[in-house]
Amino acid sequence: MLEIQKLRVEIAEKPILQNVSLRVKSGEFCCVIGPNGSGKSTLLRAIGGTISPQSDAIFWNETPFPANIAARAKLVATLPQNLGGGDEMRLEEMAMLGRTPHLPPFGAPSREDENAVREAIELCASDLRGRVLGTLSGGEKQRAMLARPLATRAPILLLDEPVSALDVRFQHEILALAKRLTRERNLATICVLHGINLAALVADSMLLLNQNGAPVAFGAPEIVMTEANLSRVYEVPLQIKPHPLSGRPQAQTLWEV
């Protein structure tokens, strides 16, 4: 289980996250929602170790997270919003980057590394073997990018806006794939999403942050996705109705344009 206790992050003496606590079990898909600037991506960076929180209370199976970045990289795999570049790389080359924490300095990939890459590609992009990233469509590229963190074989998966540039079909396909892999590989997954209705459809649990980076609600979608919580945080009039198939809460704005 991944557990965070009253996490605080400040950047240039400005509070970004305030007293954030959550628990994500292995096999659980947790979505983080909130307005722009609420610290969603900062939360993932604090877990991954690329920024240092003021109160470092992060645990995996009741053991404090390692301070050493190399050790933490074997525990946490991240798909950031934008990996940047790499369009000239083949899928296999990009996925092998996920094995970096396991490679010795200047060492060549082992058979275990190659097996991990093949397994990751088989899970999410088997039809794209050998393809150059720059030749892929948006949905194909996002599936391909998912192979990199999966190849790490880390028990914690962090996804930062994995569907932000995709159309409706690919949004649903990528999130369904991520949730399936969370179950199959028993991962503790935290996914940052701007689309609150998408989050409510896919999440086992949700964390809602306000504009000041403070938690407003954490729990099942029915607990988090209330008219009171969302109207207060997003400052727009909202109505909650059940999804016609799943019954999960869905928000509809009452603005007239």
Same domain, 138 and 166: no
**pLDDT at res. 68:** 87
Domain C-terminal end among 103, 120, 153: 153
Same domain, 63 and 113: no
* Residue 122 lies inside a defined structural domain of this protein: yes
As for how many domains the chain has, the answer is 2
Question: DSSP string covering the chain, please?
Answer: -EEEEEEEEEETTEEEEEEEEEEE-TTEEEEEE-STTSSHHHHHHHHHTSS--SB--EEETTEEPPSSHHHHHTTEEEE-S-----TTSBHHHHHHGGGGGGSPTTPPP-HHHHHHHHHHHHHH-GGGTT-BGGGS-HHHHHHHHHHHHHHHT-SEEEEESTTTTS-HHHHHHHHHHHHHHHHHTT-EEEEE-S-HHHHHHH-SEEEEE-TTS-EEEEESHHHH--HHHHHHHH-S-EEEEE-TTT--EEEEE----
**pLDDT at res. 6:** 94
Same domain, 171 and 205: yes
* Residue 220 lies inside a defined structural domain of this protein: yes
Same domain, 148 and 237: no
**pLDDT at res. 56:** 65
* pLDDT, averaged across the chain: 94
Same domain, 7 and 39: yes
For 210, list phi and psi in degrees, rounded to 5: -95, 180
**pLDDT at res. 55:** 75
Same domain, 99 and 59: no
Domain C-terminal end among 153, 171, 196: 153
**pLDDT at res. 70:** 86
* Residue 81 lies inside a defined structural domain of this protein: no
Q: How far is CA 85 from the centre of its chain?
A: 20
**pLDDT at res. 84:** 65
Positions in the chain short of pLDDT 70: 56, 83-85
What domain range is 149 assigned to? 86-153
* Residue 42 lies inside a defined structural domain of this protein: yes
Same domain, 137 and 162: no
**pLDDT at res. 67:** 84
**pLDDT at res. 254:** 87
